[in-house]
Amino acid sequence: MSEAAIELVELKKYFPVSNGFGKGRSYAKAVDGISLTINKGEIVGLVGESGSGKTTLARVILRLTDITSGTVIFDGVDLSKATRAQMKDMRTRVSVVFQDPASNLNPRETVLSSIMRPLIIHGINRKDAKEMASKAMSLVKMDARYLYSYPHQLSGGQLQRIAIARALVMNPKVMILDEPTSALDISVQAQILNLLLDLQEQLGLTYLVITHDLNVIRYISDRIAVMYLGRLVEFGPTQEVLDNPRHPYTKGLMAASPILNPHDRGREKYMMEGEPGSLINLPSGCHFHPRCPYATERCRTEAPMDVKISELHQVNCFMAE
Ligand SMILES: Nc1ncnc2c1ncn2[C@@H]1O[C@H](COP(=O)(O)OP(=O)(O)OP(=O)(O)O)[C@@H](O)[C@H]1O
Ligand SMILES: [Mg+2]
C-alpha cells in the first residue's frame, strides 16, 4: 500500500460574500467538501474550468488561507492539531510555484535575493544560503551567473525555471504547481514539463499540478482529479479516465480540448453548453445538472455520492450507479 503524502478529508473553504445593504451574508463555496489522497512520489493533476476553486484548494493546503471545515493531513500529521514546530516543518516541506513567472519573484530583487529569502527566514546563514541557491539553479539547469540578474532581464521560461529553483531550495517533499506552464510558449511549456518530470524522478518528489489544460495532465500526471464548482466530480488513473471518462463534465472538458485525441476526429462529440455556474448561488442537487444533457429530476434535487468504477477510479454521478 502506498503511503499518503497529503490527505484531504471533507475539506471546505467558504468565502463570506456581502449581499449589500445589510441583507445578511452568503458564501462563495470555493471548496465544498473535497476528499482526496495524494500518495508519496506520485503526480496528481487537478483540472477544471476557471473559477472552479483550484487555486483556493492549493491555498488551503498550503495554509495561506484558513480552512472553513475538514482536515488536511500532511505526512500523517493533522495540520489542524499541529504544533508550531510541526507547522514550521510543514512549510519547508511543501512548496509552491504559481502561474505567472513574474509574481513568483520580486521585481526589485536579484534572483539570488529572491531564492535566498526563505532560507534566511529559516535562520540559515548567508554563505550556506548562497551555496544552496547555486545548487537549486543547477537543478533547474540554469547557469549560476543568472543569480545576479533581475526578473525583467529574463525570459518567461527562465523565470519559471527560477521560480522552480526557489521552490526547491528548502528541499521540499511536495510541490504544488498552479498552472506552471500556462503563461509560456508551447515549446517552452514542453521544456518546463520535462524539467518537472526529471526533478520529480531525481528527487522523489510528490506533485499536485493544477491546470486547465488536459494535454498537460495527460503528459505529466499519474492520476487526474476533475473539479467542478468546488467539488471533485471524477478521480482516477490518468489513462483510465481519459480512455473511459464517466462524468459528463469530464467528457465535456475532453471534447473541448482540441488536440487531446486526434483519433477522435469524426466521433460524435458532446459540446458542453453554458457557463460554469456561480459559487455563490450553487445549483441544487448535482452542481453540474444545469449544463448536463443527461440530467434527470433526481439530479436537480439530490447530490450524488462518489461511485467506484474500479479500484482507483471514482465518479460523482448517478449514471455510474
Ligand atoms: N479571497 C477571496 N475572497 C472571496 N472570494 C474568493 C477569494 N478567493 C477566491 N474566491 C472565490 O473563489 C472562486 C474560485 O477561485 P479560484 O481562484 O480558486 O478558482 P480557479 O479554479 O483557480 O480559477 P482559475 O482557473 O481562473 O485560476 C472565485 O470565483 C472567487 O469567487
Ligand atoms: Mg487558479
CATH code of 134's domain: 3.40.50.300
279 CB under 6 A from ligand 1?
yes
Mean pLDDT within 41-60: 95
Picking from 21-30, 267-276, 298-307, which range would have the lowest pLDDT averaged per residue? 267-276
Work out the pLDDT band at 18, boundaries 50, 70, 90: confident
CA distance 28 to 261: 35
d(CA 184, CA 34): 30
pLDDT score of 148: 97
pTM: 0.92
Q: Closest Cα to atom 8, ligand 1: which residue?
A: 56
Tens-digit pLDDT profile for residues 97-153: 988 766 778 889 999 999 999 899 989 999 999 999 999 999 999 999 999 999 999
| Residue whose CA lies nearest to ligand 1 atom number 17 | 55
Backbone angles phi, psi at 289, to 5 degrees: -60, -35
Question: Domain of 43?
Answer: 4-320
The residue ranking higher by pLDDT, 210 or 105, is 210
Residue 34 identity: I
Residue 33 has what DSSP assignment?
Answer: E
pLDDT reading at 184 higher than 60: yes
> What is the reported pLDDT for 270?
64
The whole-number pLDDT of residue 242 equals 93
Domain count, the chain: 1
Q: Is 29 in the pocket of ligand 1 (CB under 6 A)?
A: no
Which region among 166-170, 259-263, 292-296 has the lowest average model confidence (pLDDT)?
A: 259-263
Residue 88 is predicted with a pLDDT of 86
> How confident is the model at residue 98, as a pLDDT?
86
Per-position DSSP letters for 171-217, written without gaps between them: --SEEEEESTTTTS-HHHHHHHHHHHHHHHHHHT-EEEEEES-HHHH
Quote the CA–CA distance of 269 and 251 in Å, as a whole number: 9
Give yes or no for residue 202 CB within 6 A of ligand 1: no
Q: pLDDT digits over 220-273, tens only?
A: 999 999 999 999 999 999 999 999 999 999 999 998 876 655 555 555 566 677
